[in-house]
Structure 1
Amino acid sequence: MQIDSISWKQMTDVPQVNTNSTGSAAGFVDVLSSLIQEEASSQPVERSITQLAPGVTFKDGLLWQQLGAVQESNSYYPVEGALNDTGATKPTTFEELITSAGERYGVPVSLIKAVIDAESSFDPNAVSSAGAKGLMQLMDGTARGLGVSNPFDPAQNIEGGTKYLSSLIQRFGGELAMVLAAYNAGPTRVAGLGASSDEELMSMVHMLPEETQAYIGKVMNAQSKYSL
């Protein structure tokens, strides 16, 4: 049995008793027994915030419940420095284009590869049911705004998609889950939630489309796959 923080506070607030007094000791035992019985019969309460990765916390189990299990249970949680990672990555198709774009816009190569993996599985000719095109699945309007005239051209697509990621990283203060949610559902929708951190976003992630909820975990998991 565990005694939650509220009950523990109540216990510690009980006036100190004289353990040499039989009556006082019995009284303390009665109080303790009462608190334990109350804990056992009470409804579950919200637990404290748990540290899941360095620099990032989420409410107990929320991200797991909303995004579902992945092959390695904690591999998709944001980690400190995930958006500042300049380490080596596993080589892929379009390696030079990805590396060059990452250096130019200050976006981790592992993140670019993860987005391409999740969006198109590295198929430059991919087209979604919504009309998103190419490796990083750019919508026509977004592509035009990024200066991409041919979204099926890997060089242009990676350039535009990475530039877009960079702008989202700046807009959302480097909060990785917020950046990914904005990439999938649109920055206006994410900003409209009023969250200012990944932790806050996860507390209201149910307000995002199910596709977006799954997308966040999918990209985070893929990023760990490409990082060495």
Structure 2
Amino acid sequence: MHPLRPAAGFLLAVLALASADAGARTVYRCVQGGTVSLATAPEPGSKCTAKEIDDNAVSTPNLWGSMGVFSGTLYEREQDGQKVYSTRNLPGSTPYLKFTVQTPPGEPAHPGLGKVGKPRLDRYPSEFKAAARQTGVDDAWLRAVAHAESDFDAKALSPKGAMGVMQLMPEVAKEYGVADPYSSAQSINAGARHLRALMHRYKGDLTLVAAAYNAGIGTVSRYGGVPPYAETQEYVSKVTALYELYLRALGRKQVPERPAL
């Protein structure tokens, strides 16, 4: 087995060179079960997209997405009579190279907002109760999302344009007929209706609801689950933890099990 290498570029270079004997510099970005892998051939059971690597490029592209720092192994195996390489441990694989990758951090949707802290039941109690009563969405869940999104700041504005207590994107605010996204009552009501729609779509799976609220429905669909973005995974964990805190703060002792990411 080769020694540990720290650079993502080295890993991509190995993958590109491994595919050179076929006359192409192609790396496949494969998604399966919400996880991303890179390979020199499409992986069985994964949804793979071919990415061309420029032979003359000084730096290689980031194909992982924003996933923070992580370590893994490049595996070698036989597929269709040829040697192929993949960062996913598929049947018949043997370890070829260990690596550590640091991906670009990406732009957080809500920088500095939504730190986990003590429950704040004093923030807009009538608005949350009214929205919960109207939509059937749990009051504790609404508060958890608002806490994570804006820390209950009605004037919050993210670099990506999300606004108000529930950090509604302009298209979401428009969809739910919000005239003033900085109105706490309108923001909470629209946020509750949006969460109700997501809960219907994902059959009550709060992990997917939180992921879609943060990253968008299209992203969750593309990855078939929680996307492999550090921000979204941290967001889901944060909202889940806050939900438990608000359930207790509201005097409800039945705390749901935390779904696995």
- Report whether the alignment pairs 1:101 with 2:121: no
SS in 2 for 1:91: coil
> Where in structure 2 are the equivalents of 1:62-211 lying within 5 Å?
91-194=121-224, 201=225, 205=226, 207-211=227-231
Question: 1: distance between equivalents of 2:167 and 2:222?
Answer: 23
1:177-214, Cα deviation, whole Å (9 max, x unpaired): 000000000011112223xxxxxx4xxx4x43211111
Question: 2: distance between equivalents of 1:141 and 1:127?
Answer: 15
Question: 2: distance between equivalents of 1:164 and 1:154?
Answer: 15
The structure where helix makes up a greater share of residues is 1
Please tell me whether the aligned partners of residues 181 and 213 of structure 1 are also in contact (alpha carbons under 8 angstroms).
yes
Computing the radius of gyration from Cα coordinates, the structure with the larger value is 1
Please tell me whether the aligned partners of residues 90 and 227 of structure 1 are also in contact (alpha carbons under 8 angstroms).
no
The structure where strand makes up a greater share of residues is 2
| Identical counterparts, % of pairs | 37
SS in 2 for 1:227: helix
Q: Which has the higher contact order (CA 8 A, sep 6+)?
A: 1
Unpaired segments ≥5 residues, structure 2: 1-88, 90-118, 249-261
How many residues matched? 132
CA-atom RMSD, angstroms? Answer: 1.9
Which letter maps to 1:218? K
Instruction: From the superposition, tell whether residues 154 and 177 of structure 1 become closer, same or farther in structure 2 (CA, over 3 Å).
Output: same
Question: 1: distance between equivalents of 2:202 and 2:143?
Answer: 20
Please name the residue that 2:237 is paired with.
Answer: 217
Question: 2: distance between equivalents of 1:163 and 1:90?
Answer: 22
Please name the residue that 1:28 is paired with.
Answer: none
